Amino acid sequence: MTTVVAVCRSFRDRALARFFHCFPCLSDPAQRPSLGLKVTLVMLHLVIVGILFLFDDNLIERTKKEPWYTALYLSLFSATLVQYFITSSSSPGYVVDAMRAVNEANMMYQKSSMASKQPASSKNGSLIVTVEGSQSYDQGSNPSSWTKLVMDMYPPGTPIRSCSCSYCNVEQPPRAKHCHDCDKCVLQFDHHCVWLGTCVGRDNHCKFWWYICEETALCLWTGILYISFLTANISRSWWKDAIMILLLIVLSISILFLLLLLLFHSYLVLTNQTTYELVRRRRISYLRQVPERVFPFSKGVCRNLYNFCCVRSSIYSLEALPLPEELEEKASPYTCLDVLSCRCC
């Protein structure tokens, strides 16, 4: 009997090992609930759109007469799903990756300086690290170690223990936070999205915003098609109406949630904030003394938008804490002259 149990257990272990080898995303227990949510979200999209084309004969007739209309709708549907998978598979920007890049650039510079007099920029690749508000470290200058780089972003006299992560044992630059779901420190941590299965941070916040925008437009368009079907076919078949009304309620709740989320993240983008900084402002040590209406990392609406949309992924853009003089200037009320000179931009 013991031999049979051992053989069955060995067969089960080998079968699970082969299954996890074919599907590595299921080998991590922490990723299995995330994968289930992803499948649920995709299936919900397919069900809502599929039932619409299955029940609505008028939409089929319109497709025959105006194929461009349905083509635009299906293009938006496909683009939304593609953007979802792009966002969910993208890195939010981990502190450990930036630290490794800076330290490697520093080591390569030191080796090249010892071997020859030529600058290290010919060997460092495309690494560019900028520290806004302090100084710039690019591939043509002498890069500093990660610890010195981080400490220069904090006020003088800040102990290294106060900016070190107790979980990763790495020095965190300002605006970084350790995510317990990903078990990594994230640059400009916004939040951990369970539907995406990853964090939203410096590198994928723009992709996340575009996904919300596309998802909102898709839900609004689908809701209009559902309402058109119900007004034209009400009371013809009660069970079809019941299904469509139920799905329309789900769409209405989704539209309300997505609109609020889109407006909220648009506000964060325009003021250069993150959800974590806004919600936990009084618990973040370097934001406690900042007045409530002051956005310490904001550089004006135009530059905030430019940095959010146009900064290249090869640049590790780190933001130093603003000086007291800068905070005092940002806290001063606007005057007519400030409005004319576009101070807010």
**3-class DSSP state of 186:** strand
Under 8 Å between Cβ of 134 and 153: yes
For 94, which DSSP code? B
Residue carrying structure tokens 């406690």:
288
Output the six-digit token pair for 135: 């100084």
- Of 185, 193, 199, 206, which is the active-site residue? 193
Q: Which helix (H) or strand (E) holds 137?
A: strand 135-137
What one-character-per-residue DSSP string does 143-171 give? PPPHHHHHHTTSPTT--GGGGB-TTT--B
C-beta separation of 325 from 315 below 8 A: no
Kindly state the helix (H) or strand (E) to which residue 184 belongs, with its residue range. strand 184-186
Is residue 297 within 8 Å of residue 319, measured between CB atoms? yes
DSSP bridge partners of 185: 178
Which residue bears the tokens 């317990």? 180
Cα separation, 311 vs 316, whole angstroms: 9
C-alpha span between 338 and 345 (Å, rounded): 10
Virtual torsion, Cα 263, 266, 272, 276, nearest 10 deg: 50
Alpha helices in the chain (DSSP H): 2-22, 32-55, 57-65, 67-89, 95-115, 146-151, 205-233, 238-271, 275-279, 301-310, 324-331, 336-340
Q: Do residues 195 and 101 make contact, with C-beta atoms less than 8 angstroms apart?
A: no
In this structure, the dihedral spanned by the alpha carbons of residues 323, 328, 331 and 335, taken in order and rounded to 10 degrees, is -130
Tell me, yes or no, if 193 is annotated catalytic. yes
Q: What is the DSSP letter of 53?
A: H
Catalytic residues: 193
